[in-house]
Protein backbone atom coordinates (compact mmCIF):
# COMPACT_ATOMS: atom_id res chain seq x y z
CA UNK A 1 0.00 0.00 0.00
CA UNK A 2 1.23 3.46 -0.85
CA UNK A 3 1.87 6.12 1.80
CA UNK A 4 -0.17 9.35 1.62
CA UNK A 5 2.26 11.37 3.67
CA UNK A 6 2.80 15.04 2.61
CA UNK A 7 6.26 15.89 1.41
CA UNK A 8 8.13 18.71 3.23
CA UNK A 9 8.89 20.64 0.00
CA UNK A 10 5.19 20.74 -0.87
CA UNK A 11 4.33 22.13 2.56
CA UNK A 12 6.97 24.85 2.26
CA UNK A 13 5.67 25.92 -1.15
CA UNK A 14 2.07 25.94 0.12
CA UNK A 15 3.04 28.05 3.15
CA UNK A 16 4.97 30.51 0.97
CA UNK A 17 2.01 30.85 -1.39
CA UNK A 18 -0.37 31.46 1.52
CA UNK A 19 1.95 34.19 2.82
CA UNK A 20 2.04 35.93 -0.54
CA UNK A 21 -1.75 35.78 -0.89
CA UNK A 22 -2.31 37.00 2.67
CA UNK A 23 0.00 39.99 2.25
CA UNK A 24 -2.11 41.47 -0.57
CA UNK A 25 -0.91 44.07 -3.01
CA UNK A 26 0.09 47.67 -2.43
CA UNK A 27 0.15 49.65 0.77
CA UNK A 28 -3.50 50.70 0.86
CA UNK A 29 -2.59 54.35 0.28
CA UNK A 30 -3.05 54.42 -3.49
CA UNK A 31 -5.12 57.36 -4.68
CA UNK A 32 -6.35 57.92 -8.20
CA UNK A 33 -6.48 61.48 -9.41
CA UNK A 34 -9.68 62.80 -10.94
CA UNK A 35 -9.60 62.84 -14.74
CA UNK A 36 -10.02 66.14 -16.52
CA UNK A 37 -13.66 66.63 -17.44
CA UNK A 38 -15.08 69.13 -19.87
CA UNK A 39 -18.70 69.97 -20.59
CA UNK A 40 -17.70 71.12 -24.08
CA UNK A 41 -17.98 68.64 -26.97
CA UNK A 42 -14.75 67.84 -28.72
CA UNK A 43 -14.12 69.43 -32.09
CA UNK A 44 -13.39 66.05 -33.70
CA UNK A 45 -15.28 62.79 -33.32
CA UNK A 46 -13.55 60.26 -31.10
CA UNK A 47 -11.43 57.67 -32.86
CA UNK A 48 -12.20 54.01 -32.34
CA UNK A 49 -9.75 51.12 -32.46
CA UNK A 50 -9.02 49.64 -35.89
CA UNK A 51 -9.06 46.05 -34.63
CA UNK A 52 -10.94 44.01 -32.06
CA UNK A 53 -11.43 40.30 -31.51
CA UNK A 54 -14.34 40.02 -33.96
CA UNK A 55 -13.84 42.85 -36.48
CA UNK A 56 -11.01 44.75 -38.15
CA UNK A 57 -10.88 47.85 -40.35
CA UNK A 58 -8.39 47.93 -43.24
CA UNK A 59 -9.81 50.97 -45.07
CA UNK A 60 -10.32 53.87 -44.85
CA UNK A 61 -7.08 54.91 -43.21
CA UNK A 62 -7.29 57.15 -40.14
CA UNK A 63 -7.61 60.76 -41.35
CA UNK A 64 -8.23 59.79 -44.99
CA UNK A 65 -9.42 62.58 -47.27
CA UNK A 66 -12.38 61.37 -49.35
CA UNK A 67 -14.77 62.87 -51.88
CA UNK A 68 -17.80 61.46 -53.68
CA UNK A 69 -17.27 57.92 -52.30
CA UNK A 70 -14.73 55.75 -50.51
CA UNK A 71 -14.07 52.06 -50.05
CA UNK A 72 -14.43 50.57 -46.59
CA UNK A 73 -13.04 47.11 -45.94
CA UNK A 74 -11.85 44.77 -43.25
CA UNK A 75 -12.54 41.36 -41.76
CA UNK A 76 -15.30 40.28 -39.39
CA UNK A 77 -16.94 37.38 -37.63
CA UNK A 78 -20.44 38.78 -37.20
CA UNK A 79 -23.80 36.96 -36.91
CA UNK A 80 -25.08 35.92 -40.32
CA UNK A 81 -22.07 37.74 -41.86
CA UNK A 82 -23.85 41.09 -41.39
CA UNK A 83 -21.50 44.06 -40.80
CA UNK A 84 -23.47 47.25 -40.03
CA UNK A 85 -21.67 50.57 -40.63
CA UNK A 86 -22.38 54.25 -40.08
CA UNK A 87 -20.89 57.69 -40.63
CA UNK A 88 -21.23 60.21 -37.77
CA UNK A 89 -20.71 63.94 -37.97
CA UNK A 90 -18.74 66.06 -35.48
CA UNK A 91 -21.67 66.19 -33.05
CA UNK A 92 -21.95 62.38 -33.03
CA UNK A 93 -25.14 62.29 -35.10
CA UNK A 94 -25.43 59.44 -37.59
CA UNK A 95 -25.63 60.96 -41.09
CA UNK A 96 -25.24 57.76 -43.16
CA UNK A 97 -25.76 54.09 -42.31
CA UNK A 98 -25.94 50.74 -43.99
CA UNK A 99 -24.61 47.20 -43.85
CA UNK A 100 -22.36 44.94 -45.86
CA UNK A 101 -22.20 41.15 -45.99
CA UNK A 102 -18.90 39.49 -45.14
CA UNK A 103 -17.79 36.40 -47.08
CA UNK A 104 -18.70 34.11 -44.16
CA UNK A 105 -19.08 33.85 -40.38
CA UNK A 106 -18.84 31.60 -37.31
CA UNK A 107 -15.35 30.08 -37.48
CA UNK A 108 -12.95 32.93 -38.31
CA UNK A 109 -12.71 36.52 -39.54
CA UNK A 110 -14.01 36.86 -43.11
CA UNK A 111 -13.32 39.73 -45.55
CA UNK A 112 -15.94 42.42 -46.15
CA UNK A 113 -15.85 45.40 -48.52
CA UNK A 114 -18.27 48.13 -49.56
CA UNK A 115 -18.30 51.50 -51.32
CA UNK A 116 -19.85 54.36 -49.36
CA UNK A 117 -21.31 57.36 -51.18
CA UNK A 118 -20.54 60.61 -49.31
CA UNK A 119 -21.41 62.96 -52.19
CA UNK A 120 -24.37 64.44 -50.27
CA UNK A 121 -22.33 65.26 -47.14
CA UNK A 122 -20.99 68.73 -46.38
CA UNK A 123 -17.19 69.04 -46.30
CA UNK A 124 -15.82 68.30 -42.85
CA UNK A 125 -14.56 65.67 -40.44
CA UNK A 126 -16.63 62.55 -39.87
CA UNK A 127 -16.23 59.23 -38.08
CA UNK A 128 -16.72 55.99 -40.02
CA UNK A 129 -17.74 53.05 -37.81
CA UNK A 130 -18.14 49.36 -38.67
CA UNK A 131 -19.42 46.89 -36.09
CA UNK A 132 -20.45 43.34 -35.50
CA UNK A 133 -24.20 42.82 -35.61
CA UNK A 134 -26.13 42.57 -32.34
CA UNK A 135 -28.97 40.14 -33.01
CA UNK A 136 -29.95 40.06 -29.32
CA UNK A 137 -31.43 43.59 -29.27
CA UNK A 138 -29.03 44.57 -26.50
CA UNK A 139 -29.68 41.49 -24.35
CA UNK A 140 -26.36 39.76 -25.09
CA UNK A 141 -22.76 40.76 -25.53
CA UNK A 142 -22.51 44.27 -27.02
CA UNK A 143 -21.40 44.73 -30.60
CA UNK A 144 -17.69 45.33 -31.20
CA UNK A 145 -16.85 48.53 -33.12
CA UNK A 146 -13.90 49.73 -35.15
CA UNK A 147 -13.55 53.06 -36.86
CA UNK A 148 -11.53 55.83 -38.46
CA UNK A 149 -11.84 59.58 -38.87
CA UNK A 150 -12.32 60.72 -42.45
CA UNK A 151 -12.36 64.16 -44.02
CA UNK A 152 -14.95 64.76 -46.70
CA UNK A 153 -13.67 67.33 -49.18
pLDDT at 50: 82
What angle is formed at CA 108 by the lines to CA 103 and CA 113, rounded to 5 degrees?
30
Phi, psi of 151 (to 5 degrees): -115, 120
| Per-residue model confidence as pLDDT tens digits over 45-82 | 456 788 889 999 999 999 999 999 999 999 999 999 99
- The per-residue pLDDT for 35 is 43
Q: How far apart are the first and last CA of the chain?
A: 84
pLDDT digits (tens, 9 = 90+) for 126-138: 999 999 998 888 8
| 136-147: pLDDT as tens digits | 888 888 899 999
9-54 pLDDT, tens digit each = 554 555 454 454 444 544 555 444 544 443 343 455 456 788 889 9
Q: Which pLDDT score, from 0 to 100, does residue 135 have?
A: 83
- Select the more confidently predicted residue: 3 or 73: 73
93 vs 141: CA distance, rounded Å: 24
10 Å CB burial of residue 64 (0-12, 13-18, 19+) is middle
Give the C-alpha distances (Å, rounded to integers) separating 33 from 26, 28, 30, 36, 37.
17, 15, 10, 9, 12
Domains and CATH numbers, the chain: 55-152 (2.60.40.2550)
Amino acid sequence: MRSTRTRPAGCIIALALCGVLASGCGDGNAVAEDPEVSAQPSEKPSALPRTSALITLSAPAEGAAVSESFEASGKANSPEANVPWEVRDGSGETVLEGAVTAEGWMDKLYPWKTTIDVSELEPGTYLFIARTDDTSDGEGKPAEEVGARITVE
